[in-house]
Structure 1
Amino acid sequence: MDKISVCPVCGNETTKDSLTGKYHCDKCKKTFKKAALCDKCGKEVEILAACGSTQFFCNHCNELKSKKTLEFFLKEQ
């Protein structure tokens, strides 16, 4: 099971809505969105998505980030 698909509240597997991109846990009835942390400062990065392209920007470090260096997690809505 992928780390991003596990509910951070109860540990149950989540399901992803393909239209909204949000994750839902049927056990604890919570909804989450995918978020990422900067590899340098540990702050949450901004996810910029347009025209099929996704970029990641850290406002604290003021630089674009590579997807490979980020740590993804589920953030409660």
Structure 2
Amino acid sequence: MDNLNICPVCGNELIKNSSTGKYRCETCDKTFTKAALCDKCKKEVEILAACGSTQFFCNHCNELKSKKSIEFFLKEEV
């Protein structure tokens, strides 16, 4: 099981809503979204999805990033 299936708050398994793409923990009642970090500056990148394709753009480095070069993490919704 990868770390996108585990709640970063309590460590229990998350449930993914397939229609919204959000992750929910029933134990601590928190909701998360998948986000990504730039490999160079470690800042959050913008996820661009259109026409069946997903690209990642770092506004700080001002460049496109490949899926292999970024690190995914769960970001808590407020």
Shift, 1:38, TM fit = 0.3
**Corresponding residue of 1:74:** 74
Structure 1 runs of 4+ with >4 Å offset: none
Q: What fraction of aligned residue pairs are identical, expressed as a percent? A: 78
**Corresponding residue of 1:20:** 20
Cα-Cα RMSD: 0.6
Deviation by residue 1:9-44 (Cα, 9 ceiling, x = unmatched): 111110110000000001100000000000000000
The 1-side partners of 2:74 and 2:12 are apart by: 13
Does 2:47 align with 1:62?
no
TM-score, normalised on structure 1?
0.96
How many pairs were matched up? 77
**Corresponding residue of 1:36:** 36
The 1-side partners of 2:23 and 2:16 are apart by: 4
Could you tell me which amino acid in structure 2 is paired with residue 34 of structure 1?
K
Shift, 1:4, TM fit = 1.1
**Corresponding residue of 1:46:** 46
Could you tell me which amino acid in structure 2 is paired with residue 73 of structure 1?
F
Any gaps of 5 or more consecutive residues in structure 2? none
TM-score, normalised on structure 2?
0.95
Could you tell me which amino acid in structure 2 is paired with residue 12 of structure 1?
N
